[in-house]
């Protein structure tokens, strides 16, 4: 029979309190047994509690118990979660910290979620038992990863592993080892990731809720290794990865890998189409009943996916869309700087590209993935300036990092010119294959409108007349007509139909990034 870490009498008491509607008793017992419920081998006690809560009368169930059931089940595609933050003087229990971290992340606030967990962990270092801290660390791992902070995610996973091992919580140690493997794999540290994969396989399976809720980090990390194939065009990945993780907390990682795989295929255009369609499908703007939020700010796109989207937009000539993605990354310095450098190169401003990759968030990054991509962009800028020796030095640094870490996928984002130079100078097999199969990017187009012009364009796309736009905007119809003429001039067209077609082509009406549009005159 499987061993149980929960006290059977406590679970029975909790179930009885739920069924009789004794809110105070249920709350009291839950504070003592919640960690055991989440560290159980077969998950039957947690399943019993979930079933009792779902069958009970919601007003008589403690809010923490309702939330615990919610955050230990697969995530709805368009969830409604409370995104409450922690105040400086607020004291949370381990259970409350675990729930709040998950709720904030699932409400589209992975950065604040990570901060909530980090603040609580700092306060709880000498006051809380190990197991609540481990469980909050696992939540913090996912939040940091979704916020684009891979190094921070790795620190949470490694600390959770050490604490779990030291206290004999082998199943939670397995979960933490899988998390560490995934963080390293995504950060282009394949050698270290493989060590963590091997360590995870020596431990018992993680608690069932971990797989059901977070996804399968071990499977995701293994698929990164498959995509790091020596011959990039022969890379393979599990085609069911995206669908299997769609309702889990690691959905964005599976979509990232799906995009990688498509980008390496003979028809890389499907990478952009697939990523764009998936992000649009997850966008709350297209669904009713979702949590209310500012209509001018979209649900954040995880930086991992935003960078993919920006790179692919540029490869396919959609410069305006790439600029909008960069604006959505303004709170993520490293990702923003990398995409800004690409945009500067597309605008033929190599000196500005060099300035972007010299941003301290990039230049001093602990992430090999960031450093490799920055070196490639720097080499591209030096080639454009005619500084071949500087370009060769940057490429040597990039390939040295690849050899040490084993992570070659960032090379995929090198320009054809850079890859050809690197292949000629260094003979790296992945570089040679990428240089052989590299496709020249489409010349990007850019169309910039002021914020007001963008608002008018959006209303034109809704079919409103100048009079209707004027009424909605509290200005005269003549003012609107002048603004419309300015829009036509900037887009190089002479009528509404052509303007809307041009706006769709350039990305000014891109539904994935358009709600966050903040352009300049």
7/442 Cα distance (integer angstroms): 63
Which residue, of 241, 265, 289, is where some domain finishes? 265
| DSSP code for 445 | B
Q: Three-class SS string for 31-98?
A: HHHHHHHHCCCCCHHHHHHHHHHHHCCHHHCCHHHHHHHHHCCCCCCCCCCCCCCCCCCCCCCHHHHH
Question: Would residue 292 count as lying in a domain?
Answer: no
The answer to whether 92 touches 86, Cβ cutoff 8 Å, is yes
- pTM: predicted TM-score of the whole model, two decimal places: 0.88
**Residue 122 shares a structural domain with residue 226:** yes
Query: In the chain, how long is the greatest CA-to-CA distance?
Result: 80
**Domain with 465 in it:** 451-516
**Residue 104 shares a structural domain with residue 207:** yes
The answer to whether 213 touches 71, Cβ cutoff 8 Å, is yes
**Residue 150 shares a structural domain with residue 53:** no
Question: Would residue 484 count as lying in a domain?
Answer: yes
Q: How far is CA 354 from CA 304, 344, 382, in A?
A: 22, 9, 8
**Residue 416 shares a structural domain with residue 472:** no
**Residue 155 shares a structural domain with residue 233:** yes
**Residue 234 shares a structural domain with residue 202:** yes
Residue 489: CB atoms within 10 Å: 10
Residue 366: CB atoms within 10 Å: 12
Residue 519: CB atoms within 10 Å: 17
**Residue 118 shares a structural domain with residue 22:** no
Query: CATH number, domain at 490?
Result: 1.10.10.10
Question: Would residue 86 count as lying in a domain?
Answer: no
Q: How far is CA 50 from CA 39, 70, 106, 187, in A?
A: 15, 9, 19, 36
Which residue, of 437, 468, 494, is where some domain finishes? 437
- Looking at the 3D structure of the chain, how many domains does it have? 4
Question: Would residue 495 count as lying in a domain?
Answer: yes
Distance spanning both ends of the chain, measured CA to CA: 69
pLDDT of residue 233: 57
Query: CATH number, domain at 347?
Result: 1.25.40.10
Which residue, of 265, 292, 314, is where some domain finishes? 265
pLDDT of residue 85: 52
**Residue 374 shares a structural domain with residue 410:** yes
Question: Would residue 214 count as lying in a domain?
Answer: yes
pLDDT of residue 287: 40
Across-strand partners of 445? 318
Q: Which pair of tokens denotes residue 481?
A: 């007509």
- Which positions ≥6 away from 129 have C-beta within 8 Å? 35, 94
**pLDDT 10s per residue in the chain (521 long)?**
334 455 678 888 989 988 888 899 989 999 889 999 999 888 889 999 999 888 877 778 888 999 999 999 887 654 454 555 555 556 789 999 999 999 999 988 999 999 999 999 999 988 889 999 999 999 999 999 999 999 999 999 999 999 999 999 999 999 999 999 999 999 999 999 999 999 999 999 999 999 999 999 999 999 998 888 655 555 556 668 888 999 999 999 999 999 988 888 777 788 899 999 899 888 754 443 333 334 444 568 999 999 999 999 999 989 989 998 998 898 889 999 999 999 999 999 999 999 999 999 998 999 999 999 999 999 999 999 999 999 999 999 999 999 999 998 899 899 999 999 999 999 888 888 888 888 888 888 888 788 788 888 888 888 888 899 988 889 998 998 999 999 888 888 889 999 888 888 777 888 787 654 333 32
Q: What is the number of H-type helices and E-type strands within the chain? A: 28, 0
**Residue 212 shares a structural domain with residue 325:** no
Question: Would residue 313 count as lying in a domain?
Answer: yes
333/509 Cα distance (integer angstroms): 26
How is 132-176 classified by DSSP, letter by letter?
HHHHHHHHHHHHHHHTT-HHHHHHHHHHHHHHHHHTT-HHHHHHH
The answer to whether 468 touches 519, Cβ cutoff 8 Å, is no
Question: Would residue 151 count as lying in a domain?
Answer: yes
**Which residue in 212, 131, 120, 146 sits closest to 176, CA to CA?**
131
98/490 Cα distance (integer angstroms): 50
**Residue 305 shares a structural domain with residue 412:** yes
- Taking each helix axis from N to C terminus, what angle separates 251-263 and 217-227, rounded to the nearest 10 degrees? 20
Question: Would residue 31 count as lying in a domain?
Answer: yes
**Residue 401 shares a structural domain with residue 349:** yes
Q: Three-class SS string for 374-411?
A: HHHHHHHHHHHCCCHHHHHHHHHHHHHHHHHHCCCHHH
**Residue 309 shares a structural domain with residue 389:** yes
């Amino acid at each position: 029979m499987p061993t149980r870490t929960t006290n059977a009498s406590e679970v029975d008491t909790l179930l009885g309190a739920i069924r009789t509607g004794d809110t105070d008793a249920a709350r009291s017992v839950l504070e003592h047994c919640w960690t055991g419920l989440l560290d159980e081998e077969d998950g039957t006690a947690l399943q019993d509690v979930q079933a009792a809560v779902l069958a009970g009368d919601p007003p008589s169930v403690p809010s923490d118990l309702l939330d615990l059931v919610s955050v230990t089940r697969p995530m709805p595609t368009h969830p409604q979660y409370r995104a409450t933050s922690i105040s400086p003087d607020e004291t949370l229990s381990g259970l409350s910290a675990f729930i709040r971290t998950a709720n904030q992340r699932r409400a589209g606030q992975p950065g604040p979620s990570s901060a909530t967990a980090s603040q609580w962990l700092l306060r709880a270092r000498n006051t809380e038992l190990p197991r609540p801290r481990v469980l909050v660390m696992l939540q913090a791992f996912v939040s940091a990863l979704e916020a684009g902070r891979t190094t921070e995610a790795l620190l949470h996973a490694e600390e959770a592993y050490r604490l779990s091992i030291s206290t004999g919580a082998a199943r939670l140690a397995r979960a933490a080892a899988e998390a560490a493997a995934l963080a390293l794999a995504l950060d282009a540290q394949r050698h270290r990731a493989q060590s963590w994969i091997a360590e995870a396989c020596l431990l018992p399976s993680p608690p069932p809720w971990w797989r059901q809720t977070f996804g399968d980090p071990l499977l995701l990390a293994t698929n990164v290794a498959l995509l790091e194939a020596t011959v990039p065009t022969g890379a393979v990945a599990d085609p069911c990865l995206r669908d299997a993780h769609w309702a889990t907390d690691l959905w964005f990682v599976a979509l990232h890998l799906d995009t990688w795989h498509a980008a390496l295929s003979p028809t890389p255009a499907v990478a952009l189409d697939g990523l764009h369609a998936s992000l649009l499908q997850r966008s709350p703007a297209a669904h009713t009943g979702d949590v209310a939020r500012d209509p001018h700010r979209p649900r954040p796109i995880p930086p991992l996916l935003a960078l993919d989207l920006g790179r692919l937009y540029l490869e396919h000539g959609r410069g305006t869309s790439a600029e909008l993605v960069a604006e959505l990354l303004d709170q993520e310095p490293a990702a923003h700087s990398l995409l800004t450098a690409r945009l500067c190169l597309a605008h033929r401003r190599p000196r500005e590209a060099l300035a972007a990759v010299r941003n301290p968030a990039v230049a001093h990054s602990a992430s090999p993935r960031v450093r490799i991509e920055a070196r490639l962009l720097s080499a591209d800028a030096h080639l454009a300036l005619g500084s071949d020796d500087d370009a060769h030095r940057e490429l040597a640094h990039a390939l040295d990092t690849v050899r040490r870490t084993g992570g070659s996928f960032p090379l995929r984002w090198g320009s054809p010119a850079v890859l050809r130079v690197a292949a000629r100078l260094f003979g790296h097999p992945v570089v040679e294959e990428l240089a052989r199969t590299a496709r020249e990017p489409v010349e990007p187009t850019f169309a910039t409108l002021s914020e007001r012009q963008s608002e008018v364009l959006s209303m034109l796309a809704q079919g409103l007349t100048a009079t209707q736009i004027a009424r909605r905007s509290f200005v005269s119809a003549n003012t609107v007509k002048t603004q419309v003429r300015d829009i036509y001039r900037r887009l190089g067209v002479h009528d509404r139909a052509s303007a809307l077609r041009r706006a769709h082509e350039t990305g000014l009406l891109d539904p994935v990034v358009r709600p966050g549009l903040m352009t300049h005159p």
